[in-house]
Chains A and B, each alone.
Chain A
């Protein structure tokens, strides 16, 4: 392609012009759709506040939990049995073993949020890839993948998770996240699949094929960016939902291994009739925290959806 390239003869542009022209082009570059979404999102003050609260809170529990040694929230202390909240030693009171609810709450939040994030990333990645592949290839591949999907949807997943958790003897946060992911990836697959199906019919995909781009690259580099706003929205909403998955399991007693605090185990204190009324501080703070967190995250998701629609309006026409 080098010397006898007809382009060099037919175009007046030569290597000397390169820097100058690149600069010119950069000066008139267009903002990407991501920038438009961000601009729209910033305009929604409630959403922005929610996002800041969520991110700030997550950072706080992660950092704060470093300063709480495992011994200080695990040790049983009979003297502080059901210590009342809002006292200098126990801001949020103590539970039946005299452990500080505030410390349990911080460490439990870190564990629960961490698992929810991990679950969202793992199951989201798998679910999105599943939907993209199924929609892109279509035909037989799609039919088989859809059958498996429908089957998974009908499984009593909560029961399967509980049984698996009891079967696997020594599990930790990571194995738990993986088990959960096995049954939680279906969330947005169908939506992604139908979008991928529509995208793969468009001519730009055909153009990429004739340009010698591989299927794998077309799926993840050509089609995926076109549904990236949908993916971001779906992942955010899935995160809100996933906060309830591990906590729900821990609430039933099948979540994190015994002795590992979680928001769910704290709320499980409410299953005791005396705790729920008399010693309300043992569970209510955790319940309120989860409510606020879930509401904030899903509000952010909804706002992102609106901004993504707006960017479609403003940008792509």
Chain B
């Protein structure tokens, strides 16, 4: 097993390398020079040339890439031209907000998804199962951003249950009231993200449980007189729960992609919203940092899931 895991870990090195090249090339291809936002009409051409030169923008691309990489390893992602601050600091502030939201949504996804999926599988073709299937079909079919907009409209505006923008109320100060205010702000986007995310879990668990119910080993246990409840507890759950938890890592990719929509709709100041505004301002040090970060996080998430899967499922370990 350790070999499988170690080999899997090693694969990520070329993957990250290719990703970094792609991201770097994208950054280079962005139009305009990065000083457009910080100069004014009176800035002399010579001064711009000077700026370009000291920032290494006249070097060949591979040298620029190398410099960029070296800086990266020192934790230096450059300066944001829009905010005139180190990118690490800006991204860091926003990352915490996104993290809050992501953790909340993930916890919620599993808290709702697991019991619902198990219920649907155990009570196949019951009225509850039909309702759950209806729900997964509807949620799966409708684009995520439309769900967000409708949710915001209904629960944020029409019913007025939740705040509609931002990550914290104005003038709440610090300490306990601030935490409560933050929580209030992530409830609605978190729930919506979870409602969307749990579809996969419910569908997977449901079919797992149904398959297990019809499998020979469950039938044998039943025929020996083991109560249904115990069969599910000892056989079915154990077999389907671990793999489903392992998918948490895979879901990071979707969660991050979704954050762009969620944060735009709820004007929630996380990395997704930062990305959208950075694009609008052509703030490409920030853009580069975010794309790279999202990519690396996705890769790490997938790595994590692969490792858990390998640990859980003996079939993957076999060489």
Whether chain A touches chain B in the assembled complex (some CB pair under 8 Å): yes
Give residues in A with beta carbon < 8 Å to B.
Answer: 150-151, 153-160, 162-164, 166-167, 169, 240, 243-244, 247-248, 251-254, 267, 270-271, 273, 276-277, 280, 283-284, 287, 290-291, 294-295, 297-299, 302
Could you tell me if A156 and B256 are in contact, using CB atoms closer than 8 angstroms? yes
Among B140, B142, B150, B287, max chain A CB count under 10 A is at: B142
* A192 CA / B158 CA spacing, docked (Å): 45
CB <8 Å contact, B146 and A287: yes
Main secondary structure of the interface of A (DSSP, over half): helix
Question: Contacting B143 at CB < 8 Å: which of A151, A243, A277, A302?
Answer: A243
- CB–CB A156/B152 < 8 A: no
Taking a contact as CB atoms under 8 Å apart, the answer to whether B287 and A290 are in contact is: no
A216 to B257 Cα, complex, angstroms: 37
In the complex where A166-B279, A267-B145 touch, is A298 in contact with B291 (Cβ < 8 A)?
Answer: no
Besides A157-B257, A240-B141, A277-B157, 9 other CB < 8 A contacts? A151-B18, A159-B294, A160-B22, A167-B26, A267-B146, A270-B152, A287-B146, A291-B146, A299-B137
A295-B276 in contact (CB<8A): no
**Residues of chain A within 8 A of B195, CB atoms compared:** none
Residues of B within 8 A of A153 (CB): 253, 302
Q: Tell me the complex Cα distance, A248–B276, Å.
A: 13
B35-43, B186-194, B202-210, B260-268: which lies at the interface: B260-268
Contacts A276-B153, A290-B146 hold; do A252 and B261 have CB atoms under 8 A apart? Answer: yes
Q: Which residue of B lies closest to A159 (CB)?
A: B291
B20 contacts the other chain (CB 8 A): no
The answer for the CA separation of A153 and B305 in the assembled complex, in Å, is: 14
Contact A271 B265 (CB under 8 A): yes
Known contacts A151-B15, A155-B19, A159-B294; is A287 also within 8 Å of B149 by CB?
yes
Cα distance, A284 to B294, chains bound together (Å):
32
Cβ–Cβ contact A298 & B253, under 8 A: no
Q: Distance in Å from the Cβ of B255 to the closest Cβ of chain A?
A: 11
Give bound CA distance, A243 to B15, whole Å: 31
| Cβ contact within 8 Å between B291 and A156 | yes
Task: Say whether B290 faces chain A, with CB atoms less than 8 Å apart.
Answer: yes
Q: Quick check: is B107 within 8 A (CB to CB) of the other chain?
A: no
Is B145 a contact partner of A244 (Cβ separation < 8 A)? yes
Neighbouring A residues of B86 by C-beta, 8 Å:
none
The 3 A-B pairs of least Cβ separation, nearest first, read A244-B143, A156-B294, A298-B141
B29 adjacent to chain A (CB < 8 Å):
yes
Closest B residue to A242 by beta carbon equals B143
Given the contacts A166-B30, A267-B149, A252 and B276 also touching, CB distance less than 8 Å: yes
A residues in contact with B287, CB < 8 Å: 163
- A159: chain B residues at CB < 8 Å are 257, 260, 275, 290-291, 294
A-B contact pairs, 12 of them (CB 8 A): A154-B15, A154-B299, A160-B22, A163-B26, A166-B279, A244-B145, A247-B145, A253-B280, A273-B164, A284-B153, A291-B142, A291-B150
Please determine whether A162 and B143 come into contact, CB atoms closer than 8 angstroms. Answer: no
Interface size (B, Cβ < 8 Å)?
Answer: 45
B129-141 CB mask vs A (1 if < 8 Å, else 0) is 0000000011011
Flag whether B175 is at the interface (Cβ < 8 A). Answer: no
Contacts of A271 in B (CB 8 A): 264-265
A309 → chain B closest CB, angstroms: 14
In the assembled complex, the Cα of A270 lies from the Cα of B164 at a distance in Å of: 12
A155→B298 contact, CB < 8 A: yes
Q: Are B145 and A295 in contact (CB under 8 A)?
A: no
Residues on A with C-beta less than 8 A from B265 are 271
Please measure, in the bound complex, the distance between the C-alpha atom of A49 and the C-alpha atom of B295, giving whole angstroms: 42
Contact in complex: B29, A295 (CB < 8 Å)? no
Does B314 lie at the interface of the complex (its beta carbon under 8 Å from any beta carbon of A)? no
Contact of B60 with A by CB under 8 A: no
In whole angstroms, what is the CA distance A294 to B111 when docked?
28
Cβ of B31 within 8 Å of any chain A Cβ, yes or no, is yes
Cβ of B232 under 8 Å from chain A? no
With a CB–CB cut-off of 8 A, which chain B residues contact A291?
Answer: 142, 146, 150
Does B144 belong to the interface (CB within 8 Å)? yes
> In the complex, which of the residues B143, B164, B260 contacts A158, with contact meaning CB atoms closer than 8 Å?
B260
- In the assembled complex, how far is the CB of residue A288 from the closest CB belonging to chain B, in whole angstroms? 9
Chain B residues near A253 (CB, 8 Å)? 276, 280
Most chain-A CB neighbours within 10 Å: which of B19, B141, B265? Answer: B141
User: Inside 8 A of A277's CB, which chain B residues have their CB?
Assistant: 153, 157-158
* A167, B29: Cα distance in complex, Å: 7
Query: What string of 1s and 0s marks CB contacts (under 8 Å) between B41-59 and chain A?
Result: 0000000000000000000
Whole-angstrom CA separation of A253 from B279 in the bound complex: 11
Cβ contacts under 8 Å, B18 to chain A: 151
CA distance A154 to B303 in the complex (A): 10
B150-170 vs A, CB cutoff 8 Å, 1 = contact: the mask equals 101100011000001100000
> Is A248's CB under 8 angstroms from B299's CB?
no
Across the interface, which residues of B come within 8 angstroms of A247, CB to CB?
143, 145-146
Is A163 touching B145 in the complex (CB atoms < 8 A)? no
Q: How far is the CA of A151 from the CA of B295 in the complex (A)?
A: 10
Known pairs A157-B257, A159-B275, A276-B153; A294 contacts B298 (CB<8 A): no
For window 232-284 of B, CB contacts with A under 8 Å fall at 253, 256-257, 260-261, 264-265, 275-276, 279-280, 282
Does B279 contact A163, Cβ atoms closer than 8 Å?
A: yes
Closest chain-A Cβ to B303's Cβ sits at a distance in Å of: 9
Are B295 and A155 in touch, CB under 8 angstroms? Answer: yes
CA distance A164 to B22 in the complex (A): 12
Give the complex CA separation of A18 and B145 in angstroms. Answer: 63
| Complex CA distance for A280 and B30, rounded to whole angstroms | 37
**Given A155-B295, A159-B294, A271-B264: A251 and B145 within 8 A (CB)?**
yes
A-side contacts of B256, CB under 8 Å = 156
Expressed in whole angstroms, the minimum distance between the Cβ of A298 and any Cβ of chain B is 4
Residues of A within 8 A of B158 (CB): 277
